[in-house]
Structure 1
Amino acid sequence: MDRWLSNNSFVKVMSLVMAILLWMIVTNSSTSSTGAVVGQPQVTSQVTSVKLGARYDDRKFIVHIPDTVQVELKGNRDILALASLLSKNKFDFYVDLSKYESGRYDVPVQYEGLPPGLDVVVTPSVVNVTIERIQKVQKDVRVVVVGQSPDVAKVGNVIVNPRTVTVSVPESQVKNIGLVQAVVNIEDATETVNSSVPVRVLDRRGQPIESAKTSPSSVDVQVPLTIQPSKKVPLKVSFTGKPADGYGVTGLDVRPSEITVYGTQEMLNALSAYPVPAVNVDGLTESKTIQVPLPLLKGVTRVDSPSVTVAVTITAGKESMKQEEPSATTPASEQRVSKSLEIPVFIKGVADGQTSEIVKPESGRINCNVVGTKEAIAQVDQSKLSASVDMSNKPPGEYTAPVQVNLPSGVSLASDTTDLQATVVIHDRAAKS
């Protein structure tokens, strides 16, 4: 130490530091000409809204408390600035519910983490809280398959794992649990669907119970799908009739030029082109574009374009293009005709403990047009026809769903009645009684 003190440079540095410290002390203790202490921040306040927390055993209870409280902090600017820095992750406003059981209580708001020297005013200083004990019940998961894929011929039996989950809800909600549900969407699916699906807990009205939790929170679902055979083929277009004298058909252009056909494999193997109903050109003197619906051939369940556009080119002074006349060569027994039918609608898939009713159409019957060969239409026995609407895995509520019509072989729905729907209301049998 003596050696440092004998060092002239060290002594000069220490003297300078001491001088600066003395200057700061004198400056902070000096007064202004008005008598106020120089450098002493004035007392001020700030009001803010802060999140209110709760301390409790969340494995046993669910609590309901106000989201926020108003807090007024009073103090000098330096302390308030420090409090502002701490607000990001240090101080906490909360209610301590660790010693409470189920019930409603008025509980004081507490806080911690604020620097000393502040006056703290909390509004309200006492809040009303509700505490409910958590009840755990075992419930089966019901899988709901939604969406439609044009490639799917049949939906198989759904497999869910695990089949049963543990539902944790407030004790007041146990009797209100209506359904534990997992929804799987097969829209545009082209193969069996395997998916991890979140689980929802619904009340008896079909509304989510927001406070409910499940363990596990999701389940693995497999939806086996049978993909129906399909084939892409060109369209075969023709015309019937004769244009006005001096005019001829010089072109037939169909759009799209090819379609995808769905049906039995036997029918697809024999199909090389799909026939478009002959376009009538009788008396035409100019070109024309015509929208033509595509009927379903025997063995065809669906085509990806229900109608096509045919552009007919009519030219003066030209002979009509040569073509086959399918209408002239088609046997009468294979000519397609239409018929209007009224068919009763039945509801299928309603769960045990539920009742259902069709509210639209009010008669419970649908009117539709069907097409087929004369022979097939002549053999239709309307009394043996039925239609159905599938309400499988549906909780209580009102639903509008497509109607599936059971038709005999060789008969299909006309293009103007392919979108048949019915509105069904499902009731919980116990609630309705």
Structure 2
Amino acid sequence: MDKFLQNNTVAKIIAILLALMLWLIVRMDDQPYTPVRQQTGELTVDNVIVEAIYDEELYSVADIQDRVQILLTGRRALLNLNQLRADPYRLYVDLTNLEAGTHRVPVQYEGFPSELEVDVIPSHIQVVLEEKELGAFNVQIETTGAPREGFELGNPVVSPDEVHVIAPSSVIDEVALVRGFVNVNGADEEITETVELRVYDQLGNEIDAEVSPASVEVYIPIRSPSKQVPIRVNPTSDLPDGFELNAITTDINTVEVFAPLEDLEELQEIVLPLDLSEITSSGTIEYRIPVDGDWIAVDPGVVNITIEVEPIESRTFNQLPIQVNGLTDDLELEFIDPQSGRYDIRVLGLQDELGALQNADIAISINVEGLGPGNHRVSLTIQVPDGFEVAETNQLRIRITERDEGEEAIGDEIEDGEEEEEDNEEGGS
């Protein structure tokens, strides 16, 4: 190897090669940089939606060419990235400064990478703007389904019952009615709900129009089968001691009961139990009629019950004669207690009626039938007119003895003499 390198010819050749390499390096530094050419391409997207920007309170877009084509040119990597994005871009027309009428406006875009060239086909579209109008319409409520068997629907009550349809005049002219729907299937009680409204033309086709307000409150009464039923007050207790009941009256005699048919068929009367145990003065009370079982309602639900009471007073009737019943002719009776054979009684009743009561209206008697000689206790029988009561009834002590025959003869002669005197008095008169 040393001999090879020491050869002049070889050394010259190596020197020439080194010089050539250095020359090439210098030449390459002097040349401008030329990058590798990137691959480009085109992407066509059809049926791209064009959004209209305008004052929606004042105008409505009556007609618009809302679909266009776009041609994208640029690096394929960007085009592919653009395809993968979920919402890469937006096409729109700005109508905010335009008035009602037909306009040809440029289609604008945003959201594309700046390196892409975007061409919209067509670049301008035609748009028709119409000024919105207000139309007042009554709300109609339509029910679907049927209520529970035997129940009837009342007329719906709508609040508000009039709304406004906001649309171009051409649409307003087509509006026939504004309607809401309520499902009443199987209902057995009143319905209250918020109902969304829809707009329809004469043929029943729905129209896309704004409604203000968009919903209304709807109340639908549902009446069950009903029947007029008499009411009756039934006292369940007596008044406190010292008071008498004059009358119980009600402001109504019947109520309307809403209930299933099978319940109404069996219902003949409503009994109102009334506790009198704490009533000490006349007055009127409100009595709420209970809703029984499957009843829906009672109308009216409250009955006014007037109660008339009076305090009971007493009056004493003194020395009233006692009639003896059942004493045979062979016996005679002697009163032991009271010895007088007369009795004092205390009668209870109302003040005005007590004042009119006479001694002759009261009968006191004892029955000694079947009693033999000896001392006995017998009960008094006291009869007073209706509406009065005897405060207390005691027993009497009596003695029954056998009558002597002489006494009987003398008694008979006395009785005959008295009868003759009475006959003479009658004849003289």
TM-score by length of 2: 0.43
* Higher Cα Rg, which structure: 2
Greater RCO (CA < 8 Å, at least 6 residues apart): 1
